[in-house]
Copies of this chain bind each other. A is one copy, B any other.
């Protein structure tokens, strides 16, 4: 739902009453769109894509696209973004696809998957490997369009109060880890819990929980976990978390062609820019963490633990694929794409990074 207004007085029309509406005049209409974010106000790099997109769209359209952004502090419905955009209460949303898995199970696969693709690999799948088409297939029935909305890069495995040396160490582990990764851990005997962000620090400090995952240094620094947990584990569960722009299809269809193109490019730049900015911020923030708390230890799960996690993940995904034809189509597409592209990543990025030291 959006409103049409006139941006400026059309001087030609004012001077000559009998004039027809010209294409130029039609091009003066201002389209006011509203966007709902899942994020609260000032939520670090997560807050950037919507603002970057709105600013670019405004400048490129010479003011014909005005996009107002409401954070969750305003609309009070962080996880209602899907429904609000679907209903047309908002024209757009900025969120993450996997939040809708309880509502539409196949939305799970368009954010990131444990042991899955990195950001670059996944952009390749989206844009050149059929991913966008599959995502659209999932969102179409809901009058929604979904676009990449910025990537966090590899998320860290989390902050731990104790070391994980064997699969047995996961038994009874109380860890804040929501969503699908929590299901994977639960298969190995861990107790995944969900705790409101505002209570996480105290819960970890008082050992109400043994561990938690958040994002990575880009978002973790402000949470202060490095002050109270000795171990920072490397990532396995969210190797390239892509956020999401949602657009109400009816809103989009009513926009003139040039504004549709402007909107799409603005979202695309904003998404890519967040991906780069996340890496940048994590670099800067990781340096700050180490300077403040040099004793933080980076650990990786031992191969045995990773193998068990991978098996649990594979088993869960096999269940998903067996139960739903479209899930199978998506998962097969991802597995096939990654099977090819990772072999290149290994001799390119991995070999290069490993050539140091």
A322 within 8 A of B: no
- Verify B351–A235 contact, CB threshold 8 A: yes
Chain B residues, CB < 8 A from A217: 344
Residue among A282, A298, A341, A348 with the highest chain B CB neighbour number at 10 A: A348
Query: Would A343 and B276 be within 8 Å (CB), given that A261-B56, A352-B234 are in contact?
Result: no
The secondary structure that dominates the A interface is helix
A195 within 8 A of B: no
Q: How far is the CA of A352 from the CA of B157 in the complex (A)?
A: 10
Looking at the complex, which of A15-23, A87-95, A136-144, A184-192 is the stretch in contact with chain B? A15-23
Chain B residues, CB < 8 A from A60: 60, 258, 261-262, 265
- Verify A127–B273 contact, CB threshold 8 A: yes
User: So how many copies of this chain end up in the complex?
Assistant: 2
Chain B residues, CB < 8 A from A115: 356
Chain B residues, CB < 8 A from A20: 11-12, 15
CB of A158 to closest CB in B, whole Å: 13
Give the interface of A toward B (CB within 8 A): 8, 10-13, 15-16, 18-20, 22-25, 27-28, 56, 59-62, 115, 118-121, 123-124, 127-129, 153-154, 156, 216-217, 232, 234-236, 239, 256-258, 261-262, 265-266, 268-269, 272-273, 275-277, 279-280, 282-284, 286-287, 290, 298, 300-301, 306, 340-356
A11-B19, A121-B283, A124-B276 are known contacts; what are 11 more A-B pairs with Cβ within 8 Å?
A56-B261, A56-B265, A124-B279, A127-B277, A154-B352, A234-B352, A265-B266, A268-B272, A283-B344, A286-B344, A300-B355
Q: Which 4 A-B pairs have the closest CB atoms?
A: A16-B16, A283-B341, A12-B12, A24-B24
